[in-house]
Amino acid sequence: MAYDKFEILTSTAVPLPIENVDTDQIIPARFLKATERKGFGDNLFRDWRYNSDDSPKSEFVLNNPTYSGKILVGGKNFGSGSSREHAAWAVYDYGFRCVISSFFADIFKNNCLNIGVLPVQVSTEFADKIFKAIESDANTEIEVNLPEQTVTLKATGESESFAINSYKKGNMLNGFDDIDYLQNIKGEISEFAKNLPL
């Protein structure tokens, strides 16, 4: 599925300084029953966000009007657990285009890259700096610059670079996905398959 191109994103951010946020929290299993990709944003962090009677939990950050933006800043080991791409869809559908963390779980990170959410891994120190900046001023703007591979706190100019391989970077900048790539080398794949060990 094609997605919007990602170049430079400047936005306020929503802080979630909890470690090991697993994909069961991002989107609980009972909301995985759809056969179409729509409406997952409504159930993002469902059980942290709503009580069992569907009333909002006021203490949860997504229900706090002070915080908003297209960037989600999570604690260490964000997105662990289940491979459900629905977690990345929920993040995207809610309106986030970028997740910043000091450490990502593998499959979640991959899923994000495949659907156009940019996972930005920063040092623990820089992650702490971002959390503190948002805590002291919820209007703190963060610039995520994909061509330059930098993340910057606009107010102070403090900046850190982040890693992304050039293939994935190209995909994100152009809104391409891997399926486009694979379709173009199908002949090569068929040839390869003739000489498999089994």
Distance CA 162, CA 76 (A): 16
Of positions 10, 32, 68, 70, contacts another protein by CB under 8 A: 32
Separation of alpha carbons 28 and 123, rounded Å: 29
Q: How far is the CB of 88 from another protein (least distance, A)?
A: 7
- Determine the 3-state secondary structure of 55 from DSSP: coil
User: Would you count residue 193 as binding another protein (CB under 8 A)?
Assistant: yes
In degrees, rounded to 5, the angle at the alpha carbon of residue 40 between the alpha carbons of residues 122 and 28 is 80
Min separation Cβ 3 and another protein, Å: 10
Choices 7-15, 61-69, 107-115, 145-153; region in contact with another protein by CB under 8 A: 107-115
Please report the DSSP string for 99-149 in residue order. EEES-B-HHHHHHHHHHTPEEEE--HHHHHHHHHHHHH-TT--EEEETTTT
Candidate list 167, 173, 174, 175; residue touching another protein; CB under 8 A: 167
Binding residues vs another protein (CB under 8 A): 1, 17-20, 22, 24-25, 28-30, 32-37, 47, 52, 75-77, 80-86, 88, 103-107, 110-111, 114-115, 165-168, 177-179, 181-183, 185-186, 188-189, 192-193, 196-198
